[in-house]
Amino acid sequence: MRIGTLAAALGAALMLAVSPVSAQQAEKPKLTLGVGGKPLLYYLPLTIAERKGFFKDEGLDVTINDFGGGAKSLQALIGGSIDVVTGAYEHTIRMQAKGQDIVSVIELGRFPGIVLVARKDRPINSVKDLKGAKIGVTAPGSSTNFFVNFLLAKEGLKPEDVAFIGVGGGASAVAQMKRGEIDAMSNLDPVITKLEDDGDVKVLADSRTEAGNDKIFGGANPAAVLYMKRDFVAANPVTTQKLVNAFYRTLMWLKTATPEDVAAVVPEEYLLGDRALYLSAVKNSLPIYSRTGVIPAQGMKNALAMLVEFDPELKAATIDLPKTFDDRFVAKAAAGGK
């Protein structure tokens, strides 16, 4: 009897070892994901995965906490109140310099999609003219903030030469620019397209296109990723794989999606009361999403070069870039999640 029981147990273990991840139980089927500005098109893959049921298809119950900016999502992850984050890749580099082992597991955006604009009625026609300006960012310390810091450094200016103001990534950001409470803004779509279409702003730097990224960074610069603490990955490899599977499926959907397809999936409030505007914003932003989920080595180098340009702490740090991205899960997702 014991031999039969042992044989059955070994057989079950063998079946588990060779079965696809999709058939395995997640170690943590209920988890909390942080994001900083979910309606922004920067984070569209998250909304698509959620609304199309891709998380549920993987057996995951994902609660999404939307913070005022990416820096706040990171703080929540470090503090332990959330499990994973969809946020800017740069945070994995900055945290390594601070001794925090944070790793990304899939690239969601290959271009930042961030745009720096100035009010048309301000005498600001280039980055050089920003000295002394009030600049709106989604949140201080977020990728929209880093973007401006980098552009300032290229012109010999410092972050202290301007005043950064957190404006979020939705209607409040649009309102503050329209009221003249800020002189310039670093933000994303659909906020930027709304301000452009209304004739309120002029563009100083645009990272929504390949040409724009080549001009600003000298090539691709990874943007939104799914990141988490490395010990979470170690303790929850099946859960991590299921998350990556859902996001990879989303990226494949976005490859062929039209702006109309996207508008049909997202919540009505994301359209900001103007469907035509939203369709235009999506059209502008579709090129930013990753085609493979893999962060290229040169993209990692470009991201580090951007941060080093304005961050003295990173200039003095030794960064192991391969440790910022674990490609095992994307490879399995591309092979069918096995």
pLDDT at residue 141, rounded to an integer: 86
Give the separation between CA 312 and CA 100, rounded to whole angstroms. 18
Question: Of the candidates 220, 247, 203, which has an alpha carbon nearest to the alpha carbon of residue 301?
Answer: 220
* Band (22; pLDDT cuts 50, 70, 90): low
User: Domains in the chain: how many in total?
Assistant: 2
User: d(Cα 307, Cα 321) in Å, to the nearest integer?
Assistant: 13
**Same-domain status, 228 and 93:** yes
pLDDT in tens, 88-128: 999 999 999 999 999 999 999 999 999 999 999 999 999 99
- Complete DSSP assignment for 1-48: -HHHHHHHHHHHHHHHHHS-GGGSPPS-SEEEEEEE-TTSGGGHHHHH
Percent of the chain with pLDDT over 90: 79
For tokens 């010999």, what's the residue?
156
101 and 137 in a single domain? The answer is no
Domain assignment present for 215: no
SS percent in the chain: helix, strand, coil, step 5: 50, 15, 30
Element (H, E) at 255: helix 237-256
Rounded Cα distance between 39 and 196, Å, is 18
pLDDT at 156 over 90: yes
Q: Quickly count helices (H) and strands (E) in the chain.
A: 16, 10
User: Could you tell me if 181 and 330 lie in one domain?
Assistant: no
CATH number of the domain enclosing 316: 3.40.190.10
Contact between 213 and 111 under an 8 Å Cβ cutoff? The reply is yes
236-282: pLDDT as tens digits = 999 999 999 999 999 999 999 999 999 999 999 888 789 999 999 99
Asked, for residue 104, whether it belongs to a domain, the answer is: yes
Assess whether 248 and 101 both reside in one domain: yes
User: Can you give the residue range of the structural domain that contains 157?
Assistant: 115-206
Both 227 and 92 in a single domain?
yes
- 190 and 61 in a common domain: no
Which pTM was predicted?
A: 0.85
pLDDT at 220: 85
Helix, coil or strand: residue 108: coil
Confidence at residue 104, expressed as pLDDT on a 0 to 100 scale: 98
Sequence-distant contacts of 259-266: CB under 8 A, at least 24 apart: 259/283, 259/286, 262/44, 262/48, 265/47, 265/48, 265/51, 265/52, 266/39, 266/44, 266/47, 266/48, 266/51
> In this predicted structure, what is the pLDDT of residue 17?
40
Q: Judge whether 206 and 288 are in contact, CB under 8 Å.
A: no
228 lies in the same domain as 330 = yes
Judge if 226 and 330 occupy the same domain: yes
As a whole number of angstroms, the distance between CA 10 and CA 43 comes to 44
Cα distance between residue 290 and residue 43, in whole Å: 12
pLDDT of residue 171: 85
Residues 56 and 11 in one domain: yes
Q: Do 104 and 131 share a domain, yes or no?
A: no
The answer on 119 and 186 residing in a single domain is yes
Contact between 73 and 82 (Cβ < 8 Å): yes
What is the dihedral angle through the alpha carbons of 93, 99, 105, 111, rounded to the nearest 10 degrees?
A: -10
